[in-house]
Amino acid sequence: PTSSSFPSASPIPTIIPTQPYYEKIGEAGTKTLWVVFVIMLLSSLAFTAMAWRVPVQKRLFHVITTLITTFATISYFAMAIGDGNSYAHIVIKEAHNHVPDTVEHVFRQVFWARYIDWSVTTPLLLLDLAFLAGMDGASILVAIVADVIMVLTGLFAAFGKTDGQKWGYYTIACLAYLVIVYQLVISGRRAASTKDNSTAKLFASIGGFTIILWTLYPIVWGIGDGARKWSVDAEIIAYAVLDVLAKPVFGFWLLFAHAKSAEAIEGFWSHGLDREGAL
Ligand code: RET
């Protein structure tokens, strides 16, 4: 039998795509990724060195903080070598009112490695804050689960094909973020207020810093991935600044300030005992 003996099916409706265009990383973006990779690597080494200088029982914050920058080092390495990304297919406009139908679309590069990084590092950052405040288990669990929901729905939003998908997931992510803020501000502050004065103060300032910083992420996302008003490079640079503040700067602040307040408490007690002894 020849191919002509096969009856052809009903004609496939044709959608003629207009020439797609690609929004992707450039030279400035690649350079930025390498710079942040180096910053994260050096910070991880510095945090490790700091951990070795304190006894194991006092290393909890050092370990959490070192893990955070270690994950970031790997994720920035992946992004800098051109891995850990894919293209989101965004349908701008479908026209079905003429023949042939047309579809206007664009492909935007999404660095999904970020979301893998965030799914591990943002819960660890929350643990740093939760342990500092001495938060209860239930509040910690709620904050961390909300955080994972935020990052995953953020990832789905980044690959949303239509505005409905994109902003729908984005809304869910923002609601989850509000749950985190609630836990930090209400449960966290309540727990911290029962601690010594210097810890309560440190929690208030480093927690405030965290909330301001974290709130900038959905804004960058909205301008970059969301509204596509920023180039992929501009988005990479904005996230780079935020990531350096949220991980290494946050880490050094926490470790130095916590060491200082722990020293102050120890000093207070030993001083008290000396006086007792003298009497
Ligand atoms: C997304 C988009 C969807 C809405 C919201 C977001 C929030 C992200 C946050 C990320 C924090 C990252 C940190 C990284 C450390 O280096 C996912 C961008 C609310 C808060 C602190």
Give residue limits of the domains in the chain.
Answer: 20-270
Q: At what angle do helices 113-133 and 197-221 cross, to 10 degrees?
A: 160
| ipTM summary value | 0.98
DSSP 81: T
C-alpha of 25 from chain center: 20
Instruction: Tell me how far the alpha carbon of residue 54 lies from the centroid of ligand 1, in angstroms.
Output: 32
Q: Which of 44, 217, 220, 253 to mutate to test the pocket of ligand 1 (most atoms within 8 A of CB)?
A: 217
Instruction: Tell me how far the alpha carbon of residue 189 lies from the centroid of ligand 1, in angstroms.
Output: 22
Closest by Cα among 19, 68, 30, 66 to 47 = 66
Domain 20-270 top-level CATH class: mainly alpha
Closest by Cα among 124, 82, 113 to 246 = 124
Q: How far is CA 258 from CA 121, 128, 191, in A?
A: 20, 11, 16
Instruction: Tell me how far the alpha carbon of residue 177 lies from the centroid of ligand 1, in angstroms.
Output: 8
pLDDT tens, the chain, 279 aa long: 445 556 666 666 666 767 788 999 999 999 999 999 999 999 999 999 999 999 998 999 999 999 999 999 999 999 999 999 999 998 887 766 766 777 788 999 999 999 999 999 999 999 999 999 999 999 999 999 999 999 999 999 999 988 999 999 999 999 999 999 999 999 999 999 999 999 999 999 999 999 999 999 999 999 999 999 999 999 999 999 999 999 999 999 999 998 887 776 666 655 544 444 333
Supply the residue whose CA is at minimum distance from atom 7 of ligand 1: 218
